[in-house]
Amino acid sequence: MTITTLENTAHHRPSIAYVLTKLAIVLFTKELHRRYHGSGLSAVTFHPGYVNSNFGDASGSRVLTFMKHHVPISARFTATPEQGAEQLVWLASSRPGVDWTSGEYYSRHKIAKANRAAYDPRLAGELWESTMAKLA
């Protein structure tokens, strides 16, 4: 995995671009934690589960189009938007360092395993520097 792969999502199918974006969020959160946790900042990221919403309607994703047209089937395997938001509410209303660990990736209120590229400190640092350069 390279920083170029992470940043050039326009050349990928929507589902791959989405996965790369989620990876970038995890990497950025880990780097934010590494740089600023010592100053009192806590950062965390999470997977809300597979939520039955209109989130990706305009993406052109064949997978999402299939799911949308088979809602009775997919609804059994997906969360409602309220259920998807529950973990965010838990993280926002609980105590870092007590209820959850800064710098981690969560799923279902537990530290979860992310893609192995999410644990690459070099890639996280490159993403941080590239982002800061774009913001300057």
Category of 126 on φ-ψ map: left (φ > 0), alpha (ψ -120 to 50) or beta: alpha
DSSP 64: H
18 has catalytic annotation: yes
Q: Which residue has the higher pLDDT, 3 or 28?
A: 28
- Which member of 18, 50, 106, 119 is catalytic? 18
The two structure tokens encoding residue 122: 């070099």
Average pLDDT over all residues of the chain: 87
pLDDT tens-digit map of 109-125? 999 999 999 999 999 99
pLDDT tens-digit map of 56-90? 666 667 766 676 666 555 566 778 889 889 999 99
Counts of helices then strands in the chain (DSSP H, E):
6, 3
- How far apart are the C-alpha atoms of 94 and 97, rounded to whole Å? 10
The model's pTM is: 0.83
Q: Which residues of 24-59 are buried (b: 16+ CB within 10 A; e: fewer)?
A: bbbbbbbbbbeeeeeeeebbbbbebbeebeeebeee
